[in-house]
Amino acid sequence: MKINYDVREAMDALQLKTLRKYQIQPINSILDRRNTLVIAPTGSGKSAIFQVPALVMHQKHYTWTLVIEPTLSLMEDQVQALNAKGIRADQISGNHPMDFGRITVTTDGPVCALDLSAPFLYITPERLQSEAFQKAIKNNPPSLVVVDEAHCVLDWGYTLRSSYLKIGKWISTLKKRPVVAAFTATAPEAYRSKICSLLGMD
């Protein structure tokens, strides 16, 4: 495959020398603005599949990508890895509240004026449901929403973490609909269509 300049530039930023064959199709799918479900083993380079197109979009259109992670450890690992490469990635969690923005109080309640200039913002599904966060990004929604470990939508959504079931509804409320990319290593065939349906990827 001939890699275009924008993709090569993103690869260089991520310190990737090559792309594997199975990474190329979903990268192109995301760049073509198609919702994409990726099933690939842990440690196989799933992160690059969304990081490459996310950087291309950021470089060309100054947009940003929202990455939804199930655990703080996964979130922090990815943020630290990106920052170590000189790529800015922010996160909102219990350990990292919305302190890189500015919270103001209006008649409608608290509004957080986030700095959304970074290519990546990592968040948990619970923090995504924060009214202050949703107001903060209302006029500047992400161009790409990534749901990592997407099997959690079904594994946890109906039991411990109902916020997973609200992701698709939230996406449908955005002014400009983002591309949705879901990633997992452990989704059996029966799960896949359900995940896509719940995330509004149909």
| Domains of the chain by residue range | 5-198
Amino acid identity for residue 75 in this structure? M
Closest CA to 90 of 39, 142, 139, 53: 142
Q: Tell me if the domain spanning 5-198 has CATH number 3.30.230.10.
A: no
The span from the CA of 114 to the CA of 137, in Å, is 7
Note whether 77 and 93 are within 8 A (CB). Answer: no
The DSSP code for 177 is: P
* Selection from 91, 19, 95 nearest residue 51 by Cα: 19
Residue by residue, pLDDT tens for the chain (202 residues) are 567 889 999 999 999 999 999 999 999 999 999 999 999 888 888 999 999 999 999 999 999 999 999 999 999 999 999 999 999 999 987 655 554 444 454 555 555 567 788 999 999 999 999 888 898 898 899 999 999 999 999 988 898 899 999 999 999 999 999 999 999 988 888 889 999 999 999 8
